[in-house]
Structure 1
Amino acid sequence: MSVRILALVGSLRAGSHNRQLAEAAVKFAPEGSDIEIFEGLAEIPFYNEDIDVEGNVPAAAAKLREAAGSADAFLFFSPEYNGTIPAVLKNAIDWLSRPYGASGFGGKPVVVVGTAYGQFGGVWAQDEARKAVGIAGGKVIEEIKLSIPSSVVRFAETHPSEDAEVVAQLTEVLSQLKGHAGEAVAA
């Protein structure tokens, strides 16, 4: 049985280095795992309880919840916007946190990684994402981290999948997440 990992990318930019990092994760997914990058975060309206009505949930939000329901684990790719989590990623967490008591995360393992222009690789945003997703019902695996600094320089001419150091670190992250997801599925 393959472990299903849902990847959410916090940048909507076409040339996003976090998107490229997610593509590398798909390429280097460990045997026995399947990583799906969720498409459509830009179409999900900002969370509003007035429109989160059973039978009438916006289609894009329902699609996210459906994808989350079939996932065994989550892998977030977060850049850092003004020292914190991008709104599109926070909005996805908000939609998955509802309905109250039935989180789309359902205690499933969650890992947050990413890259950013700054010297710390977006750690503030990634810490904020871990905090939010943990409150929203995800089982955040705190010890699995990957923050790649200086993304604009490092990936100016090289895709993350062609950077041997990044590939080695990402492969380790994926292997560990697969292990946690496999344990959760078996339990």
Structure 2
Amino acid sequence: MSVRILALVGSLRAGSHNRQLAEAAVTFAPEGADVEIFEGLAEIPFYNEDIDVKDDVPTAAAKLREAAASADAFLLVSPEYNGTIPAVLKNAIDWLSRPFGAGAFGGKPVAVVGTAFGQYGGVWAQDETRKAAGIAGGKVLEDVKLSIPGSLTRFAETHPADDAEVAAQLTAVVARLHGHAGAAA
């Protein structure tokens, strides 16, 4: 049985280093793990209880919930915008936290990774992401972390998958997430 890991990327930019980090996670997934990057976060409307109506949820949000419901674990990839989590990633977490008490995170393992230009690699945003995912019902793996500083210079001419140090660290993160998801199954 394959473990399905759903990756949500908090950057919508075409050349995003965080998107590239998620692509590398797909490449480095261990045997028995399938990492899928969710496409379509940009189309999901901001969470609003008035539009979260049973049997009439916006299509983009319904697709996210469907993908999340079939996932065994989550890899949240967060850059840092103004010292915190990007709105698009927070919005996805908000949609997945509902219906209250029965959201898609439902005790599933969650790991948070990311890269940012600053000297700490986006740790504030990643800490906020862990907090939000945990409150939303995810089993946040607090000791499974990867924050890569200096993204603009470090990845100026190198894809994260081609950076040996990043490749080794990301491989370890995905393997540990896979292990937690497999143990929970």
- Number of the residue aligned with 1:154: 154
Structure 1 residues 1-187: aligned runs within 5 Å: 1-185=1-185
Structure 2 unaligned segments of length 5 or more: list them.
none
Q: Distance in 1 between matches of 2:136 and 2:28?
A: 28
**Displacement of 1:101:** 1.3
Instruction: Encode CA deviations 1:41-93: one digit per residue, 9 max, x unaligned.
Output: 00000000000000100000000000000000000000000000000000000
Identity of aligned residues (%): 82
Q: Distance in 1 between matches of 2:39 and 2:52?
A: 20
Match of 1:71, SS?
coil
Superposition TM-score, scaled by structure 1 size: 0.98
Match of 1:23, SS?
helix
Q: Distance in 2 between matches of 1:63 and 1:50?
A: 18
Superposition TM-score, scaled by structure 2 size: 1.00
Moved over 6 A (4+): none
Q: Distance in 2 between matches of 1:44 and 1:144?
A: 28
Instruction: Encode CA deviations 1:131-164: one digit per residue, 9 max, x unaligned.
Output: 0010000000000000000000000000001000
Instruction: Give 1:66's aligned amino acid.
Output: E
- The CA RMSD measured in Å over matched residues stands at 0.4
Q: Distance in 1 between matches of 2:93 and 2:43?
A: 14
Q: Distance in 2 between matches of 1:85 and 1:63?
A: 22
Equivalenced residue count is: 185
